[in-house]
Structure 1
Amino acid sequence: MTAIATVPGAQAAPPDAAAPTAPDFGPNVTVFGPDTPQDEIQATMDALHAQQVDAEMGTDRHAVYFLPGTYGSAEDPLQFGVGYYTEVAGLGESPQDVTVEGAIEVRNRCLSDDPENPNCIALVNFWRTISNLALDVNTAGQGGCEATTNFWAVSQAVSMRRLDVRGPLSLMDYCTAGPQYASGGFIADSRFDTQVTNGSQQQWLTRNSELGGGWSNAVWNQVFAGVEGAPSEDNFPTEPYTTLDTTPVSREKPYLFVDDAGRYQVRVPAAQTETRGVSWADGATPGRTVPITDFYVAKPGDSVATINSHLARGKHLLLTPGVYDVDRSIAVKRPGTVVLGMGHATLTAVDGAVPLTVADTSGVVVAGVSIDAGTVESPALLRVGKEHGKNHRSDPVDPITLSDVYFRVGGPHVGKADVALEVNAHDVLIDHTWVWRGDHGVEGFPTDGSAGVNGDTERWATNVGRNGVVVNGDRVTATGLFVEHFQEHNTIWNGEDGTVVLYQNELPYDPPTQADWTQPDGTLGWEGYKVADDVERHRLFGAGVYVFNQNNPEIVTENGFSVPQVPGVQLHHVMTVNLSAGTIQHVVNGVGDAVPPSTSGSPEYVVNYPAP
């Protein structure tokens, strides 16, 4: 389908203001103004949704922006869906500068044509973003069940940020035939005046937000950090809530906005500690404003040499929507550099390159970028700090920050990477990531029964991904760490003073034999979360490791978590669960009962480790 054309976006400046700047963001960025006819907006968004709703492994990327103003009305609400690789955002300095009266939704995908068993789920509703606007929920005209709420039925690699939602929101789609499963997501810096219905969401992180109407329920693992109105964790695990009064370290994601003179700017929020509530409650989000003219606006097809030349000269980097083939590292070396992706811009490794490296420095922010492994094995997909580096120039007040940075090994094509995310620097904040070795995709394996494409032996031998996340630096914080399906330890934490708020992991579906899933010392299986034996201080809040050995249900994993048994290493609310194949014998270090297939769907919790 031809890319959707950009609607001319810059507002006219007042006569005494500087001339507005309308950057060339390329053909896959659409900017609407309040004067754009609503039928044009509706038609454009409907066409984009139709193009992207089933494009799970597609290559198109899109960003849709709304200039300050009001869209839709009580009599004629604006209602549209958000498909794969689509970012929808307001261009105001405050979320309240852009108001949409209507619905912005993600619904279940029904994956079967069988009317008796349509298999309507949200389990693969990945890779989409909504941010920086006010939503007055108005579902008039939808009728029946569909009119009861604004549905946001998603799973991993989906974020909601800087929203002011007035009206009901459901994180599952309960209107279709079952099973209606949903499997995780992320909310930050947002306010809701009506109850949020969690529904079937298995795990979720809500950070620095306001829940004016409360939260309805929980499934396995719901975590709240710095959230006003968050549910209590006093009834854990009957009600599996994990609630931190404040967020230990936070920095909101940079966002594009248009000022009163029509100039495009990027707001870069400041890092903060022990925060609670939304950043915009009392005015502008604390931070700095960078004019768009200080960015190199890159497009797919630009050479890495060109991008690196602009970075070396002090430019920030704006990646417009698309897929970038990267045959050598995009190298971010200068303190305070911002790398901002639009519309899920994707860097794909070529010839074993490390697509993105960040130097041992301070204040670098990488946000809204996806990174894919290529067909030749890469040692890493994103390396933060020098490998085996010692001279760290970090700053705990201004940490390197990764926001909505996603990784993929396999899926749209064969992928190979030793490590996806490698963090060697000190003082790094990881604010929402999904690090995924694909359990399914479009990879050319036979589908005639001789070899399936979902969890088969060919995939195990072809999509190489040993570790998802390796943290060697000290004082690294992760808020929303989702890591899945890697072939050895999914996460290895070697640094001191690490803090993780919500960890979600599925072990790989596809080990062919127990021998393929056994450590060199004979330990059965690789833990989903491993803290190195010599670490003395580490904190983990709200974590789950899941097993689904569908390729060989006889496989056993000894422990979901492995940590040193020292007073400074503390785990709070950790669990394992069986998704119907395979066995995890214990939750952590031999503590906690087994979750064999006979207890499918029933978690085993450890409230605190070590026990007080």
Structure 2
Amino acid sequence: MTIPHPPRTGRTRLAAALGVTLLLAAGTGASAIAAPLDPAGTTPVAQKAPPTPAPTPDFGPNVTVFDPSMPVSEIQATVDAVNARQIDNEMGTEREALLFLPGTYGTDAQPLQFRVGYYTEVAGLGASPSDVTINGKIEVYNRCLDDNGTTNCIALNNFWRTLSNLTLKVNGAGQDGCRATANFWAVSQAVSLRRVNVTGGTLSLMDYCTAGPQFASGGYLADSRAGTIVNGSQQQWFTRNSEIGSWSNGVWNAVFSGTEGAPADGTFPDPPYTTLNQTPVSREKPYLVADPSGAYGVRVPAAQSNSRGISWGDGTTAGRTIPLSEFFVARPGDSVQAINTALARGKHLLLTPGVYDIAQTIAVKRADTVVLGLGHATLTAVDGATPLRVADVPGVVIAGVTIDGGTVNSPVLLQVGTRNGNNGAPHSDPQNPTTLSDVYFRIGGPHVGKADVSLEVNSDNVLIDHTWVWRADHGIAGSFGWDVSTGRNGVIVNGDNVTATGLFVEHYQEYNVIWNGENGRTVFFQNELPYDPPNQAAWQHDGVLGWAGYKVADDVKHHTLWGGGSYIFTNVDPTIHASHGFEVPETPGVVLNHVLTVNLGAGTIDHVVNDAGAPVSNANTGTPSYLVRYP
């Protein structure tokens, strides 16, 4: 049982350098500065008063803003306290954002070293990652789940955390032995590394310093620069539009898209690398910025086609900056009516950290609207509501938001477009796609959840950039199970020209993904079939055993997938079969590149795609069955 900590106040802080200077000048013993004289040397010249720093935004009690004038010891104590609350808070309701104003934090002798727990966002507030430097380490270690936290150390459940928009100068000074050898980021799904510049040391995506088995099942890296990267035990990983010096290895499925320094393609599955020279469609996630006067805004990057490398290498990321004054800054408890009224009047929406109970739909109807969540802000459906709906308009960006099913079944949790007409306005724009970035879904886990469909995309020219769509396989007792938390499909795509970069969908009871639209593209797909069908009779249809993880509709003529895996672990009934992991029409325009199935210890997938590919079962647990290309 998770015991919530008491409400905290006064944790949103801002101390711009100018404000610190003024405070020092006003203190006891501050020297008076004589006013300059005019050119004749006789009359003092009137001086303009120094600009008044912008007022500190009120982001609520779960956002902490640090400035570089603060003592390292004070910052260290604050981040350590947040980590202590969140490190094991997997199914809790607390949410946190730790934001750093431009400057340098930590020194060579006194580095700032801390760990990032559940539902915690760590981000710099500069225009460029180089504007904020952390001299130290920002890490995620394995969680040791058995024997009082000493054995069974894994990263398989290290979900829901974010690191972005800063330079990490790796400094392990003072850490013991193995811990000083790398900055550890041992994570799995729903964790993003974006706009991070790692210098001075190794970035390890596994934690090799704890007792085994050290498994990890991530993950996502985008718009970042790093030297040596240890992939280690990561079963799968997706790296997009980045610059890397070296990459150590792959386990089952490592996909690189538009990444300088990526391993060469062409020998799959040994090693299991999939490398695209360019990313077909990309748009970086919006990010909060503070200018030198302390004024806040949200930078919204522009979309790109056939892109490669980082967006900030030659200066500020292309796009637009929206002043914070143009946002409705919401807190948990604000009514949906107030949010919708602000949206209808042309405001954008900033969701501060917390859990929002949503009993009626938040309706985004205007093109180019931005909805940005801080600290894994979470919308929970109440009374069967659809928490969020986007009209058939171009350029909307939804980012940093988690959407949970509630105890009453919802038809859908997020619906993009309705295809019911749009009053003559353009429905979509391939140069300005509606974009979902770091948008996550849950059916069960912290509480019972029910929804027929988690994400439904009806609009054309939509970009899905990193999503984890999850029906729970574990959680609070009584919150998950075949007849408890129900979800038919994770993602249904009806729109044409939809692109997904980083598509993670797991455990849904029928097809996890159904792709009905034409010209769809997926770069990296990860899937686990449901663990909990009670028997084969409960999990089959039309003479087919089970349901594929990824279904392209029978009438689709053109679709492409690069780098996809579907895994089985039917531990409730290990005798269950799925006929295939992927199901697609037999037509030359539908092509799957580098796909695989894996048995995780229970159940059988008979074929990889349709009737092609060898089976995976308990006879070859952990050994993938690969297809280089289909057909």
1:237-276 matches, cutoff 5 A: 237-276=269-308
Residue 165 of structure 1 aligns to a residue whose secondary structure is: strand
Conservation of the 8 A alpha-carbon contact between 2:512 and 2:548: yes
Correspondence for 2:193 among 157, 160, 175:
160
Q: Given that residues 16 and 53 in structure 2 are in contact (C-alpha distance below 8 angstroms), is that contact kept between their aligned partners in structure 1?
A: no
Q: Determine the C-alpha separation between the residues in 2 that align with 1:442 and 1:553.
A: 24
Residues 1:530 and 2:551 aligned together: yes
Q: Alignment partner for residue 579 of structure 2, among 555, 558, 564?
A: 558
- Superposition deviation, residue 2 in structure 1: 3.4
Q: Is the 8 A contact 2:264 2:275 kept in 1?
A: yes
Q: Deviations over 1:29-53 (max 9, x none)?
A: 0000001111111011111101000
Q: Deviations over 1:71-126 (max 9, x none)?
A: 001111100000000000000000000000100000000001168x7110000000
> Residues 121 and 182 of structure 1 are in contact (CA less than 8 Å); yes or no, is this contact kept in structure 2?
yes
Q: Equivalent residue for 2:237?
A: 204
- 1:365 is matched with which residue? 397
Match of 1:584 among 591, 605, 627: 605
Is the Cα contact below 8 Å between 1:183 and 1:202 reproduced in 2?
yes
541, 564, 567: which one aligns with 2:562: 541
Structure 1 Cα separation of the partners of residues 344 and 298 of structure 2: 20
Q: What is the aligned partner in structure 1 of residue 6 from structure 2?
A: 2
Alignment partners' CA distance in 2, 1:444 and 1:503? 29
Equivalent position of 1:78 in the other structure: 112
Give 1:434's match in structure 2, choosing from 468, 474, 491.
Answer: 468
1-structure distance, mates of 2:421, 2:358: 24
Q: Does 1:484 align with 2:506?
A: yes
User: Does residue 606 of structure 1 match 2:630?
Assistant: no
- Indicate which of 289, 294, 299 corresponds to 2:321: 289
Provide the C-alpha distance between the structure 2 equivalents of 1:358 and 1:406, rounded to a whole number of angstroms: 16
Residues 376, 387 of structure 1: CA spacing in aligned structure 2 closer, same or farther, 3 A cutoff?
farther
How much has 1:18 moved relative to structure 2? 6.1
Amino acid at match of 2:179: E
Aligned to 1:95: 129
Work out whether 1:136 is the aligned partner of 2:158: no
For 2:67, give the aligned amino acid.
G
Residues of 2 paired with 1:41 and 1:19: CA distance? 22
User: SS of 2:76's equivalent?
Assistant: helix
Structure-to-structure mapping, 1:100-139, within 5 angstroms: 100-113=134-147, 118-139=151-172
Structure-2 change in CA distance of 1:428 and 1:314 (3 Å): same
| 8 Å contact from structure 1 (residues 21, 264) kept in 2 | no
Structure 1: distance between partners of 2:239 and 2:448: 33
- Are 2:46 and 1:25 aligned? no
How does 1:313-462 map onto structure 2 within 5 Å? Answer: 313-386=345-418, 393-444=427-478, 459-462=481-484
The answer (yes or no) to whether the contact 2:12–2:58 under 8 Å persists in 1 is: no
How much has 1:195 moved relative to structure 2? 1.0
The offset of 1:12, in angstroms, is: 5.3
- Look up the match of 1:190: 224
Q: Per-residue CA shift, 1:424-444, capped at 9, x if unaligned? A: 000100000000000011143
9-18 vs 495-504, which moves further: 9-18
Match of residue 42 from structure 1: 76
Q: 1:493 aligns with which of 504, 515, 523?
A: 515
In 1, distance between residues paired with 2:312 and 2:447?
A: 41
Partners of 1:508 and 1:282 in 2: CA distance: 45
Listed as ranges, the gaps of 5+ residues in structure 1 are 446-452, 454-458
SS of the residue corresponding to residue 575 of structure 2 reads: coil
State the percentage of identical aligned residues. Answer: 65
* Mapped partners of 2:420, 2:146: distance in 1: 49
* Structure 1 counterpart of 2:151, one-letter code: P
The whole-number CA distance in structure 1 between the counterparts of 2:7 and 2:114 is 18
Q: What's the CA shift for 1:9?
A: 1.2
Paired letter, 1:8: R
Q: 1:87–1:394: structure 2 CA closer, same or farther, 3 Å change rule?
A: same
**More deviation in 232-241 or 2-11?**
2-11
TM-score by length of structure 1 reads 0.95
Please state whether the residue corresponding to 2:83 is helix, strand or coil: helix
Partners of 2:214 and 2:126 in 1: CA distance:
35
Aligned-partner SS, 1:527: coil
Please give the alpha-carbon distance, in whole angstroms, between the structure 1 residues aligned to 2:52 and 2:298. Answer: 17
Q: Please tell me the residue identity of whatever aligns with 1:386.
A: T
Deviation, structure 1 residue 262: 1.4
- Asked if 1 retains the 8 angstrom alpha-carbon contact of 2:120 and 2:376, the reply is yes
* Letter of the 1:162 counterpart: R
8 Å Cα contact 2:139-2:183 kept in structure 1 = yes
Q: Tell me which amino acid in the other structure corresponds to 2:6.
A: T
Q: Contact (CA 8 Å) 2:12, 2:60: kept in 1 or not?
A: no
User: Counterpart of 1:461 in 2: which secondary structure?
Assistant: coil
Distance in 1, matches of 2:13 and 2:176, equals 34
* 3-state SS, counterpart of residue 560 of structure 1: strand
- Paired letter, 1:546: Y
Q: What is the match of residue 67 of structure 1? A: 101
Report the alpha carbon displacement of residue 59 of structure 1 after superposing the two structures with TM.
0.1
Q: CA deviation at 1:140?
A: 1.0
CA distance in 1, matches of 2:186, 2:337: 40
Q: RMSD between aligned alpha carbons?
A: 1.4
Deviation at 1:235, TM superposition (A): 1.9
Note if contact 1:592-1:605 (Cα within 8 Å) is conserved in structure 2: yes
Larger radius of gyration: 2
Structure 1 window deviating more from structure 2 (541-550 vs 391-400): it is: 391-400
How has the CA–CA distance of structure 1 residues 389 and 494 changed in structure 2, closer, same or farther, with 3 Å as cutoff?
farther
Task: Measure, in 1, the Cα distance between the counterparts of 2:469 and 2:489.
Answer: 10
- 2:69, 2:354 → 1: CA distance? 28
**Distance in structure 1 (CA, Å) of the matches to 2:148 and 2:87:** 20
Distance 2:537 2:55 in 1: 60
In structure 2, what is the equivalent of residue 594 of structure 1? 615
Matches of 1:599 and 1:388, distance apart in 2: 49
Taking the aligned partners of 1:349 and 1:590, their CA distance within structure 2 comes to: 39
SS in 1 for 2:483: helix
CA distance in structure 2 between the partners assigned to 1:570 and 1:555 by the alignment: 28
Deviation at 1:305, TM superposition (A): 0.3
**Which amino acid letter does the alignment assign opposite residue 543 of structure 1?**
G
Distance 2:470 2:618 in 1: 24
Q: For 1:27 and 1:198, how far apart are their aligned partners in 2?
A: 36
Q: Contact 1:502–1:540 at 8 Å: present in 2 too?
A: yes
1:11 to 9, 16, 31: 16
AA matched with 1:2: P
1:52 equivalent in alignment to 2:57: no
Residue 555 of structure 1 aligns to which amino acid in structure 2? I
Which of 469, 473, 477 lines up with 2:495 in the alignment?
473
Deviation per CA, 1:514-554: give whole Å up to 9, x if none: 011101x1111100000000000001000000000000000
Say yes or no: does 1:277 pair with 2:282: no
Whole-Å separation in 2 of the counterparts to 1:401 and 1:13: 37
How much has 1:20 moved relative to structure 2?
1.0
Whole-angstrom CA distance in 2 between matches of 1:107 and 1:19: 39
Question: Aligned partners of 1:62 and 1:571: how far apart in 2?
Answer: 39
In structure 1, how many angstroms separate the alpha carbons of the residues matched to 2:514 and 2:283?
24
How far residue 587 of structure 1 moved from its aligned partner, in angstroms, is 0.2
